[in-house]
Amino acid sequence: MRVHFGFDTRATPAQVREAFTDVGDRRLEVWSKTLDPARYEVREQGEGWAVLREGSAGVPFWVLLRYEWPDPDRVTWTLLDSDHCDRGTGEVRITPRDDGGSHVDVTWRHSGGRGLRGRAVLLAQGLIAPVALPRVYRAALDRAAG
């Protein structure tokens, strides 16, 4: 299953990158509509990478992701474990806009749904994510921009 969407935000490229790479308490503030603090855990972190366990409030699913930020305009992740799928990667690309904001392109690739439940989750993500997540991400990043 591949999900791709793009959107514009008033957040600068540096603010967008920080929102995706800050693994401290600020991450829970910025992504308060999508991250469940009870499921959030920093497992490991180093220069330019972090391993995080994440889940959304009201949804009984979780993922263990290794985030990496190899370039100022790109953040990637690899699925290490999950309760609903076997494989996955993702990428955020950040492009500056002339008005000082950013254009953000997001791509997910998840596969190997575990059982009927996992396949249903992947199907729902494929249908809902391209419509709902651009608004959710834009709102989070606009809040982060102040």
Residue 47: its pLDDT value, please?
A: 95
Token pair for residue 62? 């979780």
Domain 2-145 has CATH 3.30.530.20: yes
Angstrom CA distances, 5 to 47, 53, 54, 58, 109, stand at: 28, 23, 21, 23, 12
Span 115-146, pLDDT tens digits: 888 888 888 888 999 999 999 999 999 999 98
Span 14-32, pLDDT tens digits: 999 999 999 999 999 999 9
Packing angle between helix 115-145 and helix 13-21, nearest 10 degrees?
Answer: 140
Determine if the pTM surpasses 0.85: yes
In whole angstroms, give the CA distance from residue 84 to residue 126.
14
Where do the structural domains in the chain lie, given as residue ranges?
2-145
